[in-house]
Amino acid sequence: MQNIQNSSVAIRIFYKRHMVILCVVPIISIFLVLGCSKQDGDTITLRYMTWDSATGLEPERKIIQRFEATHPNIKVKLEPNSQGYEDKIITSLVAGKPPDVFLWWNFTKLAELGGLEDLTPYLENCSDFSVDMFYPNLVKYNSVKGHIYGLPKDFTARVIFYNKDLFDQVGLPYPKDDWTWEEFLEIAKKLTHDDQYGFYVFAGTYHLQPWVWSNGGDLVSPDGNQVIGYLDSPETIEAIKFYTDLYVRYGVSPSGGAAASLGGAQNMFLTGKLAMMDNGRWPVLKLKKSKIRFGTVLPPHPQGKRLVTVLHSAGQVMATIGKHKSQAWELLKAMSDEEAQKIRAEAGWALPAMPALTEKMGLDRDPVESAFIRAVEYATITPCFLRTSDWWEYFDKPITDAIDKVLLGKGTVEEVLPQTAQEIEARLRRRR
């Protein structure tokens, strides 16, 4: 994230220089770019960059082959970059040589820097593709200030994975969607003994958001400009205290060091050292191939309050500076349409971002996958990093450090959150 901050000025300067060129393009060219028809002429090559790697690239290759078969004048060069992906995207934008289409997630930052093409005009002038087919909150996730910058590739919600064998050993019934924090805590206590833990506490803000939201709190204001009154609110303090007490007071979670020595939360779950795990869909393939009998359930909620969840998603985007925008738009659609979503889902790598396809494939009735689908309706709040382009520079690290301080016994939640809110506000005032 720091590299994005360091490159922001360079991207803005590059963008402004090229806008001079873009502004003199004849009006007829603009209509060609915004149209949906294929372009005749010589064969061109489009670059598509993704952070997927290894077997995760197989669905992408199939989607590209399908696209090339219907667009004989376009060749697509697949550029996987699983290491240093964000750095490479930023560097390519600064150098003026970005891929034509690429996978992205931090829309607010790159959109404000001018690195992402606004897809809203393309969609308004296109009759063969509509964002209405996607989950509405995923479209919102791919948007900034009412403008759409990405087409949803896939998604995952966060759910609780639980080890059925460990529940059976102590005679506990499997959790159900309507369980409360109090019930969750009692279950975690009963599943913690010897070198086995009931749950694992993460310090990161993304994992923490749903717990705070479900209690009526927040980490930052909806417009991303204020933390006082949010981060230090009674609701936020109560939620973070409950969450950190799982480790500090009740000991149902291992320390970060202990978890690291055991290979992290996912490996602990695989080896029977962790009974419950808060995670997205990423471990499902590995878990299905293991001998673990596991289930998934919606996260717990405070008594008398409604659950709020969070989504993880990414979208296919187009670079602002490009020589073949009409062709890039065709590729962009093909990488996100129903057939592409189906190919990824059948490969087991993703959940479709389209409710109709989810139902058609029976994923909403699958004993494991359905929890992720059910969670979508509870994803009602915009993730904090999408509210402000400065989230990673001004907010995330101070809040994460504050949580770490509590977990290390160097302060209480009641002490560190108000102090952190004041420190962040002071930095924001200097920025203004």
Query: Thinking of the domain 159-310+384-431, which architecture would CATH place it in?
Result: 3-Layer(aba) Sandwich (3.40)
**Phi, psi of 78, deg, nearest 5:** -80, 125
Q: What is the DSSP string of 16-70?
A: HHHHHHHTTS-HHHHHHHH--SPPPSS-EEEEEEES--GGGGHHHHHHHHHHHHH
Supply the angle between the helices 181-190 and 234-248 in degrees, to the nearest 10.
10
Can you give the residue ranges of every domain in the chain? 2-156+312-378, 159-310+384-431
Give the model confidence (pLDDT) of 21-71 as tens digits: 333 333 333 333 444 544 446 899 999 999 988 878 999 999 999 999 999
Backbone torsion region of residue 143, taken as left when φ is above 0, otherwise alpha when ψ lies between -120 and 50, otherwise beta? beta
CB neighbourhood size of 362 (10 A): 10
Is the model's pLDDT at 236 over the cut of 90?
Answer: yes
Instruction: Report the C-alpha gap between 193 and 273 in whole angstroms.
Output: 10
Could you tell me the pLDDT band of residue 432, with boundaries at 50, 70 and 90?
Answer: low
Give the model confidence (pLDDT) of 270-305 as tens digits: 999 999 999 999 999 999 999 999 999 999 999 999
Question: According to the CATH classification, is domain 2-156+312-378 in 3.10.129.10?
Answer: no
Between the CA of residue 230 and those of 34, 220, 407, what are the distances in Å?
42, 6, 21
Is the model's pLDDT at 235 over the cut of 60?
Answer: yes
Predicted structure pTM score: 0.89
Q: Which of 32-46, 126-140, 344-358 has the lowest mean pLDDT?
A: 32-46
Is the model's pLDDT at 190 over the cut of 50?
Answer: yes
Do the strands 44-50 and 101-104 form a parallel or antiparallel pair, or are they unpaired?
parallel
Q: What is the DSSP string of 130-143?
A: -GGGS-HHHHHHTE
Is the model's pLDDT at 232 over the cut of 60?
Answer: yes
* % of the chain at pLDDT higher than 90: 79
Q: Is there a shared CATH topology between the 2-156+312-378 domain and the 159-310+384-431 domain? A: yes
Could you tell me the pLDDT band of residue 258, with boundaries at 50, 70 and 90?
Answer: confident
> Whats the size of the chain, residue-wise?
432
Read off the tokens for 212: 């705070």
Is the model's pLDDT at 210 over the cut of 80?
Answer: yes
Is the model's pLDDT at 321 over the cut of 80?
Answer: yes
- Span 114-124, average pLDDT: 95
